[in-house]
Homo-oligomer: A and B are copies of this chain.
Amino acid sequence: MTSLKKVLTLKEVSPMAHRLTGLKTDLLIARAEELRKEIKQGVKKPFKEVIEVHSGDGQAMGTKPVTFIRQVMAACFYPELLQSDRLPRDVKFRAQELLQQCGGSVGVYSDTFGLEYVQHNVARFIEERDGGVPCDPQNIYLTAGSQKAGQLLLNLLVHTSGCGSGPCGTGVLVPVPCSPWFSLALQEAGGVRLPYFLADQGVCWELDVQELQRVVQSARGHCTPSVLYINNPGNPTGHVQSRQSIEEVIRFAASEGLYLLVDEVYQDSVFGQGRAFLSYKKVLYEMGPEFSSRVELAAIHSASKGVAGECGSRCGFIEFVNLDPQVKSLSASYFSANSLPPTSGQLVLVTALHSPRAGEPSYYTWTQESQSHLSSLSRNAALVVESLDRIPGIRVLSPQGGFFCFPRIHIPPLVVQEAETQGLSPDLFYCLRFLEEWGVAVGPGSDFGAREGSHHIRLNLLLPHDKLKSVLESLEKFHLQFTEEFS
């Protein structure tokens, strides 16, 4: 054999893969995993277990799955259970309906845009949620999760710089802070990231239209600002937009000709006093035909969040508003080749969207579980705010919805220097030290972005209350000691 060079080397790997850089959270997770293994092997540590508070995975934090959803899924996977007296009547009825709609088995492929039944029942959910604003099932595209939905949309919308129309590719407005998956998907699609800052003063990370205006104006000329990405309720911020704020954004998008890409996966988890979730779609319709007939909108939701919290099912959907009919027909091939939502995930999703009704046997349990989801988020949020407010050098804006809060951490200048010599960002240095000394993994804020010179961590509100309490006590002790050490 001649001595040929390898095909897949670091030099030869495609530029697209090169664009994706690693997250700081990945380093933290890797270290948490090592620590867990060391403890198992009997290595002595100043803590008994590693607690991860960085992710949004409710069930991994110990949240109990929703009984109704799980019973329905068990019967769908093994229909002989329909003969059993272990399952309530409404569970059996629902499972039978689902099975009938997928040809008798969850093992079948689904249609390009999802099972027709699921599309219809997602549309029905949206109409009920939005107080009767009509929703055409044909505009519902099922996807393998909300992240996949975002990737699919970006790949439709983005012209990479250097090809296509416009001066230098498609500009996409992205909030700061923002969950890193969206920025990674944008990098991969080859779009130009146009960061807009959420207000880290005031009530809670509010969205300021003047900031959007500033970004669009300064972007024109070196790219074509075309897409505005919104995450409401917000991750990692916990902010929830008011009707007025949404109307302002819609007016701005309309006047600038921006495509609205709205990620609403935390819609079921609003707990802030006097706050309620309003969908962009509903507000858009209520602004009248001048807007509702013209503003282009794609809204994303998922089975991974809310009461269901079924992260493992990997199913979400897009609702398109004012989608160009020609693009719709073109996108069929594209979605057919790329969307691929699991059939079982679609059944999880549609079950999660339609709770049992009053009078049905599962109604009481569902209601309890659903209330407990919101009340525990709300209780945890109050605890976090109260506990962090006590700590000098930590400041948090009170979250109103979603799974997270994003406290600002004062990091002493000496740490910034020390971190630099170690090739780490200051926040990652802080998080790794906290993990090493107290066994708690919080998310390094720089994965989410922030104003220059400010440092944050991301904490979820999903831990059992008592565990969260002890995590916050550890954080207080750590932070004081850490600040002293480096002052």
The reply to whether the CB of A358 lies closer than 8 angstroms to some CB of chain B is: no
The reply to whether the CB of A430 lies closer than 8 angstroms to some CB of chain B is: no
Chain B residues whose CB sits within 8 angstroms of the CB of A112 once the complex forms: 26
A76 to chain B, nearest CB (A): 9
Chain B residues whose CB sits within 8 angstroms of the CB of A18 once the complex forms: 330
Would A309 and B107 count as touching, CB distance under 8 A?
A: yes
7 contacts between A and B (CB under 8 A): A7-B259, A14-B155, A70-B77, A73-B74, A147-B337, A313-B342, A314-B340
Contact of A74 among B60, B74, B108 (CB under 8 A): B74
A257 CA / B4 CA spacing, docked (Å): 6
Q: Count contacts on A: residues with CB < 8 A to the other chain.
A: 104
Give the number of times this chain occurs in the complex, counting copies.
2
The reply to whether the CB of A214 lies closer than 8 angstroms to some CB of chain B is: no
Would B8 and A294 count as touching, CB distance under 8 A?
A: no
The reply to whether the CB of A20 lies closer than 8 angstroms to some CB of chain B is: yes
A311 CA / B1 CA spacing, docked (Å): 41
The reply to whether the CB of A17 lies closer than 8 angstroms to some CB of chain B is: yes
Would A9 and B327 count as touching, CB distance under 8 A?
A: yes
The reply to whether the CB of A148 lies closer than 8 angstroms to some CB of chain B is: yes
The reply to whether the CB of A134 lies closer than 8 angstroms to some CB of chain B is: no
Considering the complex, give the chain B residue whose CB is closest to the CB of A75. B74
Would A342 and B344 count as touching, CB distance under 8 A?
A: yes
Chain B residues whose CB sits within 8 angstroms of the CB of A313 once the complex forms: 106-107, 342-344
The reply to whether the CB of A227 lies closer than 8 angstroms to some CB of chain B is: yes
Provide the A1-43 mask, 1 if CB < 8 A to any CB of B, else 0: 1101111111111111110111100100000000000000000
Would B342 and A108 count as touching, CB distance under 8 A?
A: no
Known contacts A10-B326, A12-B159, A23-B333; 11 further A-B pairs (Cβ under 8 A):
A9-B327, A14-B189, A20-B337, A26-B112, A74-B75, A102-B312, A105-B312, A110-B312, A185-B337, A312-B344, A314-B343
